[in-house]
Amino acid sequence: MTIRALVWGENVHEQINAIVAENYPKGMHERIAEVLREDANISASTATLQEPEHGLSEARLKETDVLLWWGHRSHGEVADEVVERVAKRVWEGMGLIVLHSAHFSKIFKRLMGSPCALNWREAGERERLWVVNPGHPIAAGLPQHFELEMEEMYGEPFTVPEPLETVFISWFQGGEVFRSGLTYRRGAGNIFYFRPGHETYPTYHQQIVGQVLRNAVNWAYNPGAQAVNIHSAPNRPIEQAIEPITERGPRLHQAGQKGFA
C-alpha cells in the first residue's frame, strides 16, 4: 500500500522574493514533497498554480489520496472551477492538509463555511506547539511540545467551525495563542489544518515539522471511502421501499421525477 500524496504550491514568492528562493530553491512544494518521501509508504508529487488547471485535472485528482495545499499571495487566482473539483474529491474521500496561510485559500473557506480569519504579526518570534491530544495519530512519536524559533504569529480568534478534535495549540512569544492543529471530516474526506509554515523562515526544513506532515498524510488517507454518489439526492421509488408501504395523501412530484437541486 502506497499513499499517493500531491503537494500543491502557489509557487509565487519563491520566484520573486530572494529570501524565500534561498530557503526553498526548488520551491516550497518540492521541499514538502521531499519531506513526505522520508516515509516509505508515501509517494509524493507536486503541482503548482502556474500549470494548466493548476495541475489539478480530474485525472490527477482521481489518482490522489491526500492533497496538501500551500498558498498565500495568490488565493484569488485559483479558478473557482478547480476549487469545486477539489471540494468534490474531498467529499468523495480524498484527504486534504491545509498549511499555514492557506487558511484563507478558496478551498479551505469553501469546505469550512466560515470566514477562517485570524490575527497575525510577522516578527520572527518564537512559537511553541503543545500536543493537547497525545493519543491522536497525528501526534504519534512527538514530544509534549516543540519550538519553532522564528515564525509568523497567528492569533485567536480563528473563525473556523468547532473541529472534530484539537491536536495542537501554539504559544507565541508576543502573548497570543492559536489552535494550530485541527481535524475535520467533510463528506468522506479527512481534513487537517496545520498552522506553521511561513515562507521566509526555514520551517519545512525542521525535522519535527516533517514528522507532523507524514503523520497527517497517514491519518488523512481513507482507503475505504468510495462515496462517489454523495452529491445528488436520489429518489427511492415507493414500490421499492424496503418495508412495504402504500402511497397516501397528496403528492407534489410525479413518479420518476427528479428532485430540485
Among 70, 184, 193, 204, binds its own copies (CB under 8 A): 184
111 binds its own copies (CB under 8 A): yes
DSSP state, residue 254? P
Q: Could you give the CA distance from residue 177 to residue 250 in angstroms, rounded to a whole number?
A: 57
128 binds its own copies (CB under 8 A): yes
Which residue in 142, 261, 163 sits closest to 209, CA to CA? Answer: 142
Number of residues that bind its own copies (CB under 8 A): 106
Which residue, 52 or 243, is less far from its own copies as judged by CB?
243
Q: Could you give the CA distance from residue 127 to residue 125 in angstroms, rounded to a whole number?
A: 7
237 binds its own copies (CB under 8 A): yes
4 binds its own copies (CB under 8 A): no
Among 17, 43, 45, 57, binds its own copies (CB under 8 A): 17
21 binds its own copies (CB under 8 A): no
Which residue in 101, 104, 112, 67 sits closest to 86, CA to CA? Answer: 67
User: Binding segment for its own copies among 24-32, 36-44, 57-65, 231-239 (CB under 8 A)?
Assistant: 231-239
Q: Could you give the CA distance from residue 95 to residue 5 in angstroms, rounded to a whole number?
A: 9
179 binds its own copies (CB under 8 A): yes
User: Binding segment for its own copies among 27-35, 36-44, 78-86, 127-135 (CB under 8 A)?
Assistant: 127-135
> Which residues, at least 6 apart from 131, have a Cβ–Cβ distance to it below 8 Å?
139, 142, 143, 144, 145, 167, 168
110 binds its own copies (CB under 8 A): yes
Among 2, 175, 207, 256, binds its own copies (CB under 8 A): 175
19 binds its own copies (CB under 8 A): yes
- Cis before 157 (ω within 30): yes
The three cell numbers locating residue 256: 420518476
Q: Could you give the CA distance from residue 128 to residue 147 in angstroms, rounded to a whole number?
A: 4
The three cell numbers locating residue 145: 511540545
The C-alpha cell 511561513 sits at 198
Which residue, 30 or 152, is less far from its own copies as judged by CB?
152
Among 26, 38, 79, 121, binds its own copies (CB under 8 A): 121
The C-alpha cell 467533510 sits at 186
231 binds its own copies (CB under 8 A): yes
Cα dist from 227 to 89, 90, 219, whole Å:
10, 10, 18
119 binds its own copies (CB under 8 A): yes
User: Binding segment for its own copies among 28-36, 38-46, 52-60, 194-202 (CB under 8 A)?
Assistant: 194-202
CB of 228 to its own copies, least distance (A): 10
| Residue list 70-89, contact with its own copies (CB under 8 A) | 72-76, 87
260 binds its own copies (CB under 8 A): yes
8 A C-beta contact, residue 137 and residue 80: no
